[in-house]
Amino acid sequence: MSEHQDEARRVLDIEQQALQQVVERIDERFDRAVEMLRACEGMTIVVGVGKSGLIGRKIAATLSSTGTPAVFLHAAEGCHGDLGVVREKDVCLILSKSGETSELLNILPSIRRAGARIISFVGRTDSTLAQESDIILDVSVEQEACPLDLAPTASTIAMLAMGDALAMALLKSHKISPEQFAQFHPGGTLGKRLLLRVEDLMHKGDETPIVSRNAGMEEVLEELTVKRLGAVCVVDGDGKLAGIFADGDLKRAIIEHGDIRSLSIDELMTCRPTTISPEKLAHEAVALMENRPTQISVLPVVDSQRRVVGLLRLHDILRSGIV
């Protein structure tokens, strides 16, 4: 085992011990913090400076992404005008290892005058910040993982973990559903999986390749070639789906029959194809395409009367980024 591996294990052991210490301090003050933030009619304003400030940015982002509106305020910038963001109905979540950071102490009177409440993540419960707080969450650690016991390491891990615990407790308290969570993440894979529907990705209107059941093969081949979606939907006289004729069907027909122009589409199409409705989620369409003995790459999209309203390709789903 190398010296570097020994050091890595030492650091992680110390940080693991710090987290366990934080776990053992969870008490009714945590309940009060959750209830204060849950009842907040304004914004949650996360305040910090230095390494605590960096952790604060992440906590603010986590809160916002899980249903608790939050912004980050750098304490030094707060001294020079940014404190104007704080209002009476807000809750300030202030992070500090020492609880005596000058930039933080400079803005505490103004926060109090504004009427905002204060929850502190603090490493010293006898500090000035702790004394000025409505609720104290103790994130003290016995030692930093830094060999010099100086660089914030275990202490910042403790703050970050406490922030995650608070955010998750709030998420559960707000009863945020996966669909609501997706609304906060429209650009990510999760958001797309829970938001994108078949109707958002399907080809519809004039883009949809459709022929009638009595169409000649030349018309079918022209529609297949012009629309270039890999398949043609075949409909009966009422516009209801009768079958599908895909590129694969064309290749098999040519191999078996050679010249197919004299054949009817009824002889060559796939009858009773797998279909999907437009309101279904796009990732459900992927499951339909893949969970078959023979994988397919196109799906006719039909309404409740089995009338064709579009055509969905696996290529379009993959391009959307949901898988």
pTM, two decimal places: 0.65
Domain-ending residue, one of 144, 176, 208: 176
> Same domain, yes or no, for 12 and 62?
yes
Q: Cα(317)–Cα(311) distance, rounded to whole angstroms?
A: 12
What is the pLDDT at residue 296?
82
Q: What is the pLDDT of residues 193-233, one digit of tens each?
A: 666 888 998 998 889 999 888 888 888 888 888 889 988 99
Q: Decide: 71 and 102 in contact? Cβ < 8 Å.
A: no
What is the pLDDT at residue 79?
83
Q: What number of CA atoms fall less than 13 Å from residue 68's CA on the CB side?
A: 33
> Same domain, yes or no, for 83 and 207?
no
What is the pLDDT at residue 188?
57
What is the pLDDT at residue 181?
61
> Same domain, yes or no, for 117 and 40?
yes
The string of DSSP codes covering 211-259 is EETT--HHHHHHHHHHH-SSEEEEE-TTSBEEEEEEHHHHHHHHHHHS-
> Same domain, yes or no, for 104 and 43?
yes
To 10 degrees, the CA torsion angle through 252, 256, 259, 263? Answer: -80
Q: What is the pLDDT of residues 156-200, one digit of tens each?
A: 999 999 999 999 999 988 776 666 665 555 555 555 666 688 899
What's the domain count of the chain? 2
Which residues of the chain form beta strands (DSSP E)? Answer: 44-48, 70-74, 91-96, 117-122, 135-138, 210-212, 231-235, 241-246, 270-271, 298-302, 308-313
Q: Cα(174)–Cα(211) distance, rounded to whole angstroms?
A: 51
Domain that holds residue 93: 3-176
Conformation bin of residue 306: beta by default, left when phi > 0, alpha when psi is -120 to 50: left
Instruction: CATH number of the domain at 49, please.
Output: 3.40.50.10490
What is the pLDDT at residue 303?
92
**Which residues of the chain fall below pLDDT 70?**
176-195, 293, 321-323
Conformation bin of residue 175: beta by default, left when phi > 0, alpha when psi is -120 to 50: left
Q: Decide: 160 and 55 in contact? Cβ < 8 Å.
A: yes
> Same domain, yes or no, for 64 and 210?
no
State the angle between helix axes of 154-174 and 3-24 in degrees (0 to 180), rounded to the nearest 10.
50
> Same domain, yes or no, for 220 and 160?
no
> Same domain, yes or no, for 154 and 251?
no
Q: Decide: 223 and 210 in contact? Cβ < 8 Å.
A: yes
Structure tokens at 129: 């910040």
SS3 state of residue 96:
strand
